[in-house]
Structure 1
Amino acid sequence: MKRNIFLFCLLACTVVQAQKTDSISRAMDNYEYETVIKLIDQQESTIPLMLLKAKAYRGLFLYDEAANCLQEILKTDPENNQATIELADNYRLGGRFSESLKYYEEAINKQPHNKYLKLQYINLLYRLDKHHQVIDVCKEMLKNDSTAYVLRLTAQSYDALLNDTMAMLHYQKAIEKNPRDYISVSRIATLNIEVDTEMALRLTEEYRKIDPTNIFVNRVNAQAYCIAQDYKTAVERYKPLIEGGDTSKTTCYYYGVSCISLLDYENAYKYLLLALANDPTNINLLYYVGTAACRTKRVKEGIMYLEMALALAIPQDIEMAKLYAALAESYGRDENRKNQIAALKEQLRYDPQNNLILYRIGTVYHDFLQDEKNAERYLEMFMKTKPESMDIKSPQFLLEDGKFAPVMVEKKKKREEIDYYIQADARLKDMRVEKFFRDGVKEEDIKK
């Protein structure tokens, strides 16, 4: 009888225990982590239950509590590699990377051929900028396993070490293994976007056939079209990104530049301003924002941005000349002629081969400041730059409505260049005629 009672009690306990275990399993399967922790706290502590409790804490982002559970297991069972791996994962997710690295190394020593551990380990090395170590570990892995992920992580480490040749080689191998590897596609396209824009376009267009929605590839694709000066296509490619809420600096910058080139100054101003908020000391951005602002009747604001760019500029002649040209245009729109003249003179200082600046200075002096002396001086300087072979009195030009107009010149640039010399010559003659009637200038001076 006593034996039967004992067996009955033992069976009852087993049933109750099984019910509690089932309750924990159901709660775990339903992600009811708080319930899991409460039920486990009612049980006698065991390693399997402590592992479950640690997972439940981790599911609630309570990484310190999870670590405490796992450390308790390792105190009683130092060789428990499951607890070691869980602790490494837990520290990684909680941002305690150095501790995580230590436990991954311990786990790998126990299981040297475990691919999961090695992948997590090299990923963590990469996040810690230990790129030489990443490359060394990846090289060992690639002897037996050339997965796309390992190839790409190798490429990214070479990339971080500025070894473009090796980076592109491994990015290319990663793409061959996995054509859907958008990170490798976008990165290799970015590395080539300036030196081989056609290649960047070809690579991103091929990927778009697989997935036309990938934001990272589409960014590079649109940027490449902008660099290739196909601004219409660039804007078409940027629009879905913009409409999808992409306000990254690169997107806003190149979209804004494309809009400027298509004379859409309002959108250019709006998005270049967003890009500038993320990079307020970028001279090119300040230049483009200033230009867009001036052409949307925000002239004083535009002048402010251009002056900021000049204050930051490294004195490289081409860039400085470009900034002063934009500033001169902005002062002209603001009808601030003295500052316009000053900016034009600075532009000439940085770009002395640009003879047209002399013409512009002369016309501002003449048309707006009524300073005939300086107007004549700069227009004469401009006329002295006329090539001897250029005949501005040739029959290929006709007089229309009192102005000389080219009618038979093939190249537009050449035609415009000749036209400026014709206009300067006409202006000088008009000025001398006026001086003759006003001041009695000698007739031979008029015939110069």
Structure 2
Amino acid sequence: MVRKTLIAIIMLLVSSVGFALNNNRNGLIVKGDSCVTENDYFHALDYFLQAQKIRDTKDLQMKIADCYYCRYQLKECTTILEKIKEDSLSHDAFKELYYAYGAMEKPSTQEIYGYALIRRFPMDSRILASLMHLIIDNDKYGTRQFLAVEFGEKYFKKDSDNVEVNRALAQAYFFSQKYDKSLNMYHRLLQEKDTTFSGLYYTGLCYEYLHNLDSAKVYLQKAVNISPKSPVGMYRLGMVESMLHLNAEAISHLETAAQLYQPSPTLMRLIYKNLGQSEAESGNKAKALEAWKKALAYEPDDDITSKIKQISGSK
């Protein structure tokens, strides 16, 4: 009888202690949540870690990981989240894994989590668009562009008016060399008043690669009007004008491009090569020679050397 009484008392004490600890843990979590609403992740993390010592759960781990993420302690964040099964991760936690690896400049790992995220949340258009751009940027050999196209086309069948996804799809078509499809998508965006520099620039490039130089000039000029300090926009516009033999405009834009660009040997050679051609066609032989010599200072070019010999011999 005495033994049964002692066991009952011990069980009661254990239950009481457990109840007290659980109450204390819940209180710590409430305090942590309150700090999060105030963007005070320093104290929130402290409360959550105290609560974790009492009893750990996946939900609490994700709260701790969120604090680390918001404090930019990305390694600590990913270490926690990677140990949780993907089907147990909340949408926000999954996105933190994805963006954390992007911030840590680990695109291959980020891409893997992007695929997993889209499998679970296929209508997350923001992640989908980001993943499509990531595939394009991370595909060094041009062998996986089709994946970005497939993702975009699959989403487009469900939601054809999502600007962010349509932008990514237009770019995926472009880098897959499907210039007609890319152009159609960019015009769709333009009809929706989505007139960004990027959209206008790639519209111009599509026309250029489809050999419609007049239309290419129109859209590249619009792009440059939006962003007159863009060296790539100025360069492409000058190149198209050079091909159209609009020499005065080509000279102006190529000279500006040369000033805006950080010296890249290949690009600077091309700029000065086309600048020289435009000067030569305008009858300015001395300026043409000057531009071509600048081009050769960056990289050898047999074609330029031949042009210099021709123009020097005709003096």
- If the length of structure 2 is used for normalisation, what is the TM-score? 0.71
Alignment CA distance shift 1:283-1:143 (3 Å):
closer
Q: Which runs of 5+ in 2 are unaligned?
A: 1-26
Q: Which runs of 5+ in 1 are unaligned?
A: 1-78, 93-98, 366-372, 377-448
Alignment CA distance shift 1:337-1:108 (3 Å):
same
Kindly indicate whether the alpha-carbon contact (under 8 Å) linking 2:279 and 2:285 is maintained by their aligned counterparts in 1. yes
TM superposition shift of 1:221: 1.5
Match of 2:88, SS?
A: coil
Which one of 183, 186, 191 corresponds to residue 134 of structure 2? 191
In the alignment, the residues of structure 2 paired with residue 259 and residue 208 of structure 1 have an alpha-carbon distance, to the nearest angstrom, of 23
In the alignment, the residues of structure 2 paired with residue 80 and residue 314 of structure 1 have an alpha-carbon distance, to the nearest angstrom, of 54
In the alignment, the residues of structure 2 paired with residue 113 and residue 244 of structure 1 have an alpha-carbon distance, to the nearest angstrom, of 47
Match of 2:302, SS?
A: coil
Equivalent position of 1:163 in the other structure:
106
What whole-Å deviation, never above 9, does each CA across 1:95-124 have from its counterpart, x for those lacking one?
Answer: xxxx24423542564475483x76565445
Equivalent position of 1:175 in the other structure:
118
Kindly indicate whether the alpha-carbon contact (under 8 Å) linking 1:142 and 1:150 is maintained by their aligned counterparts in 2. no
TM superposition shift of 1:323: 1.0
Alignment CA distance shift 1:183-1:320 (3 Å):
same
Q: Does 1:220 align with 2:163?
A: no
TM superposition shift of 1:290: 3.1
In the alignment, the residues of structure 2 paired with residue 128 and residue 110 of structure 1 have an alpha-carbon distance, to the nearest angstrom, of 19
Paired residues for 1:2-401 under 5 Å: 79=27, 82=30, 85-89=33-37, 91-92=38-39, 99-103=40-44, 105-107=46-48, 109-110=50-51, 113=57, 115=59, 122-123=65-66, 125-142=68-85, 145-193=88-136, 194-195=139-140, 196-261=144-209, 262-263=212-213, 264=215, 265-274=217-226, 276-277=227-228, 280=229, 283-292=231-240, 302-311=250-259, 313=261, 315-332=263-280, 335-348=283-296, 350=298, 352-355=300-303, 357-358=304-305, 360-361=307-308, 365=311, 374-375=313-314
What whole-Å deviation, never above 9, does each CA across 1:321-375 have from its counterpart, x for those lacking one?
Answer: 21112312443565534212322343355554433x3554466x4xxxxxxx713
What whole-Å deviation, never above 9, does each CA across 1:156-208 have from its counterpart, x for those lacking one?
Answer: 21222122222222111112222223344333322331433222222322222
The number of aligned residues is 278
Aligned residue type for 2:219 = N
Kindly indicate whether the alpha-carbon contact (under 8 Å) linking 1:201 and 1:224 is maintained by their aligned counterparts in 2. yes
What whole-Å deviation, never above 9, does each CA across 1:48-106 have from its counterpart, x for those lacking one?
Answer: xxxxxxxxxxxxxxxxxxxxxxxxxxxxxxx58646524421x23xxxxxx24423542
In the alignment, the residues of structure 2 paired with residue 229 and residue 144 of structure 1 have an alpha-carbon distance, to the nearest angstrom, of 37
Alignment CA distance shift 1:80-1:134 (3 Å):
closer
In the alignment, the residues of structure 1 paired with residue 301 and residue 80 of structure 2 have an alpha-carbon distance, to the nearest angstrom, of 56
Alignment CA distance shift 1:113-1:173 (3 Å):
same
Measured on the aligned residues, the alpha-carbon RMSD in Å equals 3.6
Alignment CA distance shift 1:144-1:190 (3 Å):
closer
In the alignment, the residues of structure 2 paired with residue 253 and residue 222 of structure 1 have an alpha-carbon distance, to the nearest angstrom, of 12
More helix by share: 2
Alignment CA distance shift 1:153-1:82 (3 Å):
closer
In the alignment, the residues of structure 2 paired with residue 353 and residue 336 of structure 1 have an alpha-carbon distance, to the nearest angstrom, of 21
Aligned residue type for 2:204 = G
Structure with larger RCO (C-alpha < 8 A, sep 6+): 2
In the alignment, the residues of structure 1 paired with residue 124 and residue 196 of structure 2 have an alpha-carbon distance, to the nearest angstrom, of 22
Alignment CA distance shift 1:107-1:248 (3 Å):
farther
**Greater CA drift, 161-170 or 345-354:** 345-354
In the alignment, the residues of structure 2 paired with residue 86 and residue 298 of structure 1 have an alpha-carbon distance, to the nearest angstrom, of 65
TM superposition shift of 1:242: 2.8
In the alignment, the residues of structure 2 paired with residue 128 and residue 290 of structure 1 have an alpha-carbon distance, to the nearest angstrom, of 46
In the alignment, the residues of structure 2 paired with residue 200 and residue 217 of structure 1 have an alpha-carbon distance, to the nearest angstrom, of 10
Aligned-pair identity in percent equals: 20
Aligned residue type for 2:221 = Y
Aligned residue type for 2:313 = N
Alignment CA distance shift 1:248-1:126 (3 Å):
farther
Kindly indicate whether the alpha-carbon contact (under 8 Å) linking 1:88 and 1:101 is maintained by their aligned counterparts in 2. no
TM superposition shift of 1:310: 2.5
In the alignment, the residues of structure 2 paired with residue 126 and residue 250 of structure 1 have an alpha-carbon distance, to the nearest angstrom, of 31
Aligned residue type for 2:223 = Y
Aligned residue type for 2:199 = T
